[in-house]
Amino acid sequence: MKTLADYEILKKLGAGSFGEVYLARHKIIKQKVALKVLPLELSKNEEFIEKFEKEIGRLTMLDHPSIVNLHNISKADDRYFLVMDAMVDSNDEILSLDRYLRYKGDVLSEVEVEAILRQIASALDYAHMINFDNDFLAHRSLKLSNIFVRTTDSGIKVHISDFGLSRLIGEGKVLFQTEKQLLKEMLSNEELIKNPKSDSYTTNKFLENYNFLAPEQKFKDLNEKITFKADIYSFGVLAYFLIAREFPQGYFDLPSKIAPEYKLNWDLLICKCLQKDINRRPEKLIEALNSFLSTEQTDISSLEILSWEEVERKVENAMQMSFEFSQDLNNLEKEDKDLKNDPKSVKFTSVEKTDQKPIINPQKVDRPTYEPDPGAIFQKELNVSYYQPKKAEIKNVEPLLTEMVIVPGGSYTRGSDNGSRDEKPKHKVTINSFALDIHSVTNEQFVRFLEFMGGEKNSDNNDIIRLRNSRIKRTAGKLIIESGYAKHPVVGITWYGAQAYAKWVGKRLPTEAEWETASTGGEDSAEYPTGSDIDHTQANFFNSDTTSVMSYPPNGYGLYDVVGNVYEWCEDWYAYNFYDVSMQEPENPTGPQQGVYRVLRGGCWKSLKEDMRCAHRHRNNPGTVNGTYGFRCATDVS
């Protein structure tokens, strides 16, 4: 095969359970990609095609630095193929973890093992939060051949491919395709039949892939559901293999015996991941790494690593006391499992009776990366060891979510004919239903985000917050909120910081149209959130400082401090004449395509009464901070 659709085939990279993989180049843009061509028998299976076309589009939306990007799905010559990033080096050789380990030899340093596993754990945790085919997305076929390693100036970069394909194709078909591929390779090479030891790499390929499967995949009960916990088991197998270069079979030696030079507690991590009972495996891998990889040798006796005599006694007792559980108990176990698998939810209320719920997306915020030892490039080979800085601890902090109110969609009035030039003309806009936080983000909420980020910069080196303009201080390396200000709205926030926090909690910033609609409290054309007038008992303005959130009465939608206290960043770029365009395109306006300033709304604690109007507009550079700028989050509903 020399061409496939718009691609010129350069070479065959390999073949596996999901089909043959080719290195190809686009005929027009000349970009190199990898094409994974699904087996012909699958392309002719109508049941598979229906399921494939329904679900495969979601896999193109995966966005994580350690997941291979899936760019496109196409069909040519009655065969489906996937277009992905080409994981090859400058010589067009595949960069699989399998090949990397053979190149490195028998031993990896502990730093390398940890770097590889942390990136894989981050990718799996990210995927396990995504809904896919009425369940959480799981890989279910993690192995050496679909993990790729790049060596860069900043260290090892790991990428995983084939997410979700095992679920789409089916566990049984995957094993069948693997067995079929092994047989094909053996028949095509007479030397393998005459002398099986001549190429142990090829002949052991199937057994390697099989060893990565969890017990519930190998000995599958038709009534048992395969969950993302199978990936946790495969992760444990991979961790053991990276250290021992063999698979954990039977009563295996623990890493502390195989690699005594390793300082971290790999015994506990691996034993936790390799539990046969899925309920005893960790839920989150990053949390497991941070928790279990202590340098202290924790007692693992609770993990039931038993002697042979103890195993025999347990088997004998089980056979003497075997009985069937009642149907009621099975139902209780099922209900308990369903409760554990519920995705993260947020408390909310709705202005009108509706079955809509706020959509809380997976966390999607990049931490900034720092060079731990900039002087490393000047180090020379010496007879003495050189200084290695202490590795910064990466914290996984859970956010404190704010209760939300669902604002119903419809047609609303925007702007004012009596205000400033940028508020004119007054016109109608139509927006979809959305959910909005009932109050601004507070200091106690935002300080957890700063702990998660590990600093005051985002991944693009933009300021998130300027601490000297806020009530959060850093003392002796620790973040401290000034006494009495925990419930006050966070200030000193840039637009970049507001947007990054919103992504961290799975939300977004409100558009300017959404903010103005919500501020009226359901009273169309209201001048203030409180109606035709406002006074100091209804909002914090022309004052000396911020107040705690929810200190003043809510508006008609149940939103607190929608004006006064702090200005609130919106998603939109600002243009003084944008309402002329918005009047002509009234469907869900999102502001100009580009600009210099971002929109701020709502006035603040030192504003005049004029700034409390619902139609009043303000703006500033997205990187600007002062003691009056804060924000609240919004999200779509479904």
**Rounded Cα gap, residues 391 and 389, in angstroms:** 6
- 165, amino acid identity: L
Give the mean pLDDT of 555-574: 96
**Do residues 32 and 88 touch, judged by C-beta distance below 8 A?**
yes
Which tens digits make up the pLDDT trace of 457-471? 998 999 999 999 999
DSSP 8-class letter at 86: -
Residue 367 binned pLDDT confidence (cut-offs 50, 70, 90)? confident
Query: 127: which 2 tokens?
Result: 């995927």
Which residues does residue 37 pair with via DSSP β-bridges, in sequence order? 20, 81
Give the mean pLDDT of 273-300: 81
- Of the two residues 39 and 390, the one the predictor is more confident about is 39
Residue 563 binned pLDDT confidence (cut-offs 50, 70, 90)? very high
Determine phi and psi for 330, rounding to 5 degrees: -60, -40
User: Which pLDDT score is estimated for 321?
Assistant: 43
Most confident range (mean pLDDT) of 139-143, 200-204, 380-384 is 139-143
- Of the two residues 502 and 2, the one the predictor is more confident about is 502
The helix (run of H) or strand (run of E) holding residue 73 is strand 70-76
> Residue for token digits 């089916």?
170
pLDDT at 201 over 50: no
Among candidate residues 151, 114, 137, 7, the one with its CA nearest the CA of residue 63:
137
**Rounded Cα gap, residues 126 and 115, in angstroms:** 17
User: Which pLDDT score is estimated for 339?
Assistant: 45
Give the mean pLDDT of 2-30: 86
**Rounded Cα gap, residues 214 and 216, in angstroms:** 5
pLDDT at 340 over 50: no
Longest CA–CA span in the chain (Å) reads: 94
Give the mean pLDDT of 49-74: 80
Among candidate residues 336, 341, 325, 368, the one with its CA nearest the CA of residue 455:
368
Which residues does residue 635 pair with via DSSP β-bridges, in sequence order? 435
User: Which pLDDT score is estimated for 14?
Assistant: 81
pLDDT at 343 over 50: no
Distance from the first to the final alpha carbon of the chain: 46
- Of the two residues 526 and 196, the one the predictor is more confident about is 526
User: Which pLDDT score is estimated for 154?
Assistant: 81
Determine phi and psi for 141, rounding to 5 degrees: -150, 40
User: Which pLDDT score is estimated for 206?
Assistant: 61
- Of the two residues 217 and 243, the one the predictor is more confident about is 243
- Of the two residues 153 and 463, the one the predictor is more confident about is 463
Percent of the chain with pLDDT over 70: 80
Percent of the chain with pLDDT over 90: 43
Residue 178 binned pLDDT confidence (cut-offs 50, 70, 90)? low
pLDDT at 341 over 70: no
- For residue 543, give Cα distances in angstroms to 199, 442, 486, 557, 632: 80, 19, 19, 25, 21
- Say which range, 126-130, 434-438, 481-485, has the weakest mean pLDDT: 126-130
Among candidate residues 333, 240, 231, the one with its CA nearest the CA of residue 282:
231
Q: Rounded mean pLDDT of the chain?
A: 82
pTM of the full structure: 0.47
- Say which range, 58-72, 396-410, 493-507, has the weakest mean pLDDT: 58-72
Give the mean pLDDT of 296-321: 49
Most confident range (mean pLDDT) of 102-116, 195-209, 363-377, 547-561 is 547-561
CA 245 to chain centre: 30
- Of the two residues 253 and 209, the one the predictor is more confident about is 253
- Say which range, 65-79, 101-115, 187-201, 519-533, has the weakest mean pLDDT: 187-201
Give the mean pLDDT of 211-222: 76
User: Which pLDDT score is estimated for 534?
Assistant: 96
- Say which range, 158-167, 280-289, 390-399, 618-627, has the weakest mean pLDDT: 390-399
Give the mean pLDDT of 619-637: 95
**Rounded Cα gap, residues 226 and 245, in angstroms:** 27
Give the CA angle between residues 423, 429, 433 to the nearest 5°.
125
Residue 311 binned pLDDT confidence (cut-offs 50, 70, 90)? very low
Residue-range domains of the chain with CATH: 309-337 (no CATH), 404-636 (3.90.1580.10)
User: Which pLDDT score is estimated for 385?
Assistant: 59
Q: 36 by DSSP, 3-state: which?
A: strand
- Of the two residues 324 and 210, the one the predictor is more confident about is 210
Query: 471: which 2 tokens?
Result: 């009530």
**Do residues 41 and 176 touch, judged by C-beta distance below 8 A?**
no
